[in-house]
Amino acid sequence: MLLNQFLILSAVLFSIGVYGVLARRNGVLVLMSIELILNAVNINLVAFGAFRASVGGEVFALFVIAVAAAEVGVGLAMVLLLYRNRRSIDLTLIDQLRG
Amino acid sequence: MDALLTIASAAATASATGDGLALGITEGGSWLLRNVWLIPLLPALSFIGILFFGKKMPRGGSELGIAAVGIAFVLALLTGIAWVDHRDNFHGDEVHVAVVQLDDHGVAHGDDHGAGHEPGHPSLAVHRTATWFQTNGVEFTVGTLVDGLAVMMLLVVTLVSLLVHVYSTDYVHGDRRYTHFFAFLSLFSASMLLLVVSENTLQLLCAWELVGVCSFALIGHWWEEKPNSDAALKAFLTNRVGDMGLLVGVTVLFFAAGSALPDRFGSFSIAETNALANSGALSHTTLVVAASCLMAAVMSKSGQFFLHTWLPDAMAGPTPVSALIHAATMVVAGVFMIARMYGVFFEGFQIGGSSINLMAFIGGLTTIVGALLAFVQRDIKKVLAYSTISQLGYMVLALGVGAWTAAVFHLFTHAFFKACLFLGSGSVSHAVHSFDMKSDMGGLRKDMPHTYRTFMIGTVALAGLPPLAGFWSKDEILVGTGGWGLMGGTGGNGAYTLMLGMGMLTAALTAAYMTRCVYLTFFGEFRGHGEPHESGPRITGPLWILAGLAVVAGFFNMPKGFQLAPGSLQERFGHFVEPVAGYFPAISHATPSWSLAIVSTLVVIGGIAASGWYYFVKVEAASKAAGTSLTELPDGPTTKYPLARMGHTLLSNKYYLDHFYNGVVADGTKGPLARMANRINQDVIDRTVDVVGETAVKAGTVVYEKIDQLVVDGAVDASGRGASGAGEELRKINSGKVQSYAAILFAAATVLAGILIVLV
């Protein structure tokens, strides 16, 4: 079983995701990048699960998918409210928590 | 194996190869008998239909209820015909169960099984089950057990229910909850029909509670008035007392059956429980406990002394409800339950061969107590309510002395004439807008000829004059006591002479109080207001049908050896209704006697004569002298004799039972309970809390002064200053930009991962 290919794929996906989260200014794209990160993790989990012939990996991946769905629901709601209030979803403009 | 063989031969079709206990039931039978569940289903569907669509229907949903109950009645009739054929001509396989052990208990009276019946074909009840639910490997079933008793009850319930439905369309016409009323009538019919076909005690218990709920809802139909909702609550709560007994009894029997059946955990099956009790496989102690617990349920549901107090109050409900639920059907559920579980009661109370037992005594007491109370009522419905209590006592007495068929036959005839009387009283009150016989009735025979005639027929049937229905069933009960030693009228299950005396006394009392009731309602001069008029055809129609049945119902069971009837007409009811099967105990049957029939008739005539002399002669004469319509003599026995006055006061206060329950039992329980709770609260809990509190205060002072101020405060102050300084520095990286936070997060994670790699 070729574990490495999966790990490399997942690492690439993860990196793309991290790049998106850090560099993009569009809120929706940041959320999508977060999904990429989560799915990179899923690939990792499933790959290791298959590698070790244990069902635990798949189970965790399913949990992650469920949590990701909830997360994106909340995230999109926040983006929507941001847009309604400020007519923009540029994340760099939102800095009310500045110390 | 001796006992086993006796039982098996009693239920003669036990197949030669079949080992184990013969139950007297079969899984075969005709389509109608196997699909009897359709009958309760119809009113249940109509309940749902009325509930959701009733208000939109042109007649408020009543047409749906009448249609459902009408079809159910036709089905019940067809089922009855199917049963008559099945009873004598069915030759299928009988069900057997394996049993742990049998002692020789069954031999003692197993040999006279079926005496009084023509020998030959036993009856096999048609049994059908489906799994209800399964838990822990134990399967609970729901199903139907159809035998003569169930078929008879199906007929009575559907017929009376149908007539009451028709009657109600006029009686509650224009009521503010017309649709609601019919919905509950349907639900009640469904529950009662479910109860009578129940295959197991768990199902019976559920149906039992359902009819109780319907009774509650219908008694409180006009709940805006406080007495009505109080009466509904009283009925419900009094029944809870007995239901507790039912629950315990059913549970006891479940586990007892489980211990007697080798491969089973327990059994709710009625046929199995009864067959086990008959065969001697259950210990006598268990049966006594179970039968006594079940008896408590009978006492509340069937209004037996001393849990009968709810039934007269239940008259607060609409009159059709009183006729259907509190006279003809629901209140006989207790009697039905005894008849159903007769194996348990027969062995538990050792009815065969004794001369007194708990059930016969309670029944006998109830019948007298109820009849006496009927004398002092002003309210016509309460007279009938106490009469119902008294007649239910008759049935329980009959079951207590082993006269099973007599009891069930009395249930059958009583349903018709008492429903007739109740609906008659409703017709009267419809006309005079009151139930008070003394102030608002009198002389109605001229204005309401149909009601008057049907009421008279019902009265004569209830009093028990030949040849009306009540005579036959009452006489059979008196014969069944086996207490009539003269001229050959013996041969029951024991010499219950006391019960015979109680029954005779009640026969006289019944005749007397009904004479009083009829005089006050229909004779003398009208004392109310307005112009009473006869009710419409939807009220008089059911009255005439019931009156007709009150005349002819008795002929279904003319006694064996009765010379005036051909042999093919004797004991028909008993032949088709009384089981000859493994689940039914081996009871013996008393021989009817002319002398007893004549004496009991004379006693009834004596009762009528005494009461008639007082009302029709003395009161009538006093009324003429006074120029008004009197209801009692101005100087009657209650004013003349102190003893009679005391008796009257005792009866007017209903033996002070309500005072006893409310004042002594309820207050007596809640008073000491409250005092004890108060004492525990003050002395135990409060004291503990106080001590804990005082100690805590002292300890707290020490801690505050020494530790808190010096040590903790110092540390807190120092850390506060530290945090404030650190915060001042960290503020600078708190840009408020999410992505810079994320960058820090990832950077930190990378650093930590690097450390991990280096370390590991």
ipTM score of the complex?
0.81
Q: Are B397 and B360 contacting, i.e. CB atoms less than 8 angstroms apart? A: yes
* Per-residue pLDDT at B392: 92
Find the mean pLDDT for residues B296-302: 90
d(CA B187, CA B218): 11
The Cα B632–Cα B375 span in angstroms is: 12
- In this prediction, residue B265 carries a pLDDT of 83
Average pLDDT over residues A66-93: 91
**Distance in angstroms (rounded) separating the CA atoms of residues B467 and B74:** 28
- Identify the closest residue of chain A to B731 by CA–CA distance: A99
- How is residue A91 written in tokens? 């994340």
Most confident of B259-268, B352-361, B501-510, B558-567: B501-510
The region of weakest confidence among A21-30, B365-374, B556-565, B734-743 is B556-565
Contact B739 A21 (CB under 8 A): yes
Contact check, Cβ <8 Å, B736/A96:
yes
User: What pLDDT does residue B421 have?
Assistant: 92
pLDDT in tens, B6-35: 443 344 333 333 467 888 888 888 888 888
Mean pLDDT of B357-368: 89
Instruction: Give B748→chain A minimum CA distance, Å.
Output: 13
What per-residue confidence (pLDDT) applies to B41? 92
More confident residue, B758 or B563: B758
Tabulate helix, strand, coil % of chain A (nearest 5).
80, 0, 15
Q: What percent of chain B has a predicted confidence (pLDDT) above 90?
A: 21
Which DSSP string do the residues of B126-159 spell out, in sequence order?
A: EEEEEEEEEETTEEEEEEEEESHHHHHHHHHHHH
d(CA B720, CA B727): 10
Q: Which of B165, B158, B167 is nearest to B185 (CA)?
A: B165
CA separation for the pair A10, A4 (Å, rounded): 10
What does DSSP say about strands B96-97 and B21-22: parallel, antiparallel, or unpaired? antiparallel
Interchain CB distance below 8 Å, A98 and B730: no
Report residue B220's pLDDT band, with 50, 70 and 90 as the boundaries: confident
B159-175: string of b/e by CB count within 10 Å (b at 16+)?
bbbbbbbbbbbbbbeee
Cβ neighbours of A99 in B, within 8 Å: 730-732, 734-736
Tens digits of residue pLDDT in B630-655: 777 766 666 777 777 777 777 777 77
Q: Average pLDDT, stretch B369-376?
A: 87
With bands split at pLDDT 50, 70 and 90, how would you rate the model's confidence at B55? confident
DSSP B664: I
Least Cα distance to B180 among B69, B81, B47, B310 occurs for B47
- In the block, which residue shows the tokens 């009255």? B543
- State the count of interchain CB pairs (< 8 A) between A and B: 32
Q: Tell me whether residues A92 and B746 touch, CB distance under 8 A.
A: no
The one-letter amino acid code at B571 reads: E
* Alpha carbon distances (Å) from B170 to B59, B72, B320: 11, 22, 10
Q: Which of A16, A19, A21 is best to mutate for the B interface (most B CBs within 10 A)?
A: A21
| CB < 8 Å to B735, chain A | 95, 98-99
DSSP secondary structure of B44-70 = HHHHHHHHHHGGGSTTTTHHHHHHHHH
Among B504-508, B580-584, B602-606, name the one with the lowest average pLDDT: B580-584
pLDDT at B628 over 70: yes
In a mutagenesis test of the A interface, which of B724, B730, B737 is the best target, namely the one with the most A β-carbons within 10 Å? B737
What's the gap in Å between the CA of A90 and the closest CA on chain B?
11
Mark yes or no for CB contact B738/A91 under 8 Å. Answer: yes
In angstroms, the CA B462 to CA B626 distance is 33
- What is the pLDDT of chain B when averaged over all its residues? 83
Higher pLDDT, B342 or B732: B342
In the Cβ-directed half-sphere of B547, how many Cα atoms lie within 13 Å? 20
CA distances to B401, B452, B459 from B465, in Å: 23, 18, 9
Please indicate if any CB of chain B lies within 8 Å of the CB of A11: no
Best-predicted range by mean pLDDT among A28-37, B51-60, B733-742?
A28-37
Question: What is the reported pLDDT for B12?
Answer: 38
Architecture of domain A3-91: Orthogonal Bundle (1.10)
Nearest CA in chain A to B746: A18
CB contact (8 A) between residue B734 and residue A22: no
Closest by Cβ to A22, choosing from B731, B735, B746: B746
Q: Given a cut of 50, is residue B124 above it in pLDDT? A: yes
Helix (H, G, I), strand (E, B) or coil at B493: coil
CA distance B730 to chain A (A): 9
**Across the interface, do B737 and A21 touch by the CB < 8 Å criterion?**
no
Residue with tokens 């109780």: B212
**Residue of chain B nearest A18, judged by CA positions:** B746
Nearest CA in chain B to A95: B736
Contact check, Cβ <8 Å, A98/B734: yes
What per-residue confidence (pLDDT) applies to B553? 86
Q: Is A28 exposed, middle or buried (0-12, 13-18, 19+ CB in 10 A)?
A: middle
Cβ atoms within 10 Å of A97's Cβ, excluding its own: 11
Examine the pLDDT at B347 and tell me if it is beyond 70.
yes
> Are the C-beta atoms of residues B557 and B480 closer than 8 Å to each other?
no
Extents of the domains making up chain A: 3-91
**pLDDT higher for B105 or B182?**
B182
Band the pLDDT of B435: cuts 50, 70, 90.
confident
A70 pLDDT band (50/70/90 cuts)?
very high
Type of residue at A39:
N
pLDDT tens-digit map of B501-534: 888 889 999 998 999 888 888 888 888 787 888 8
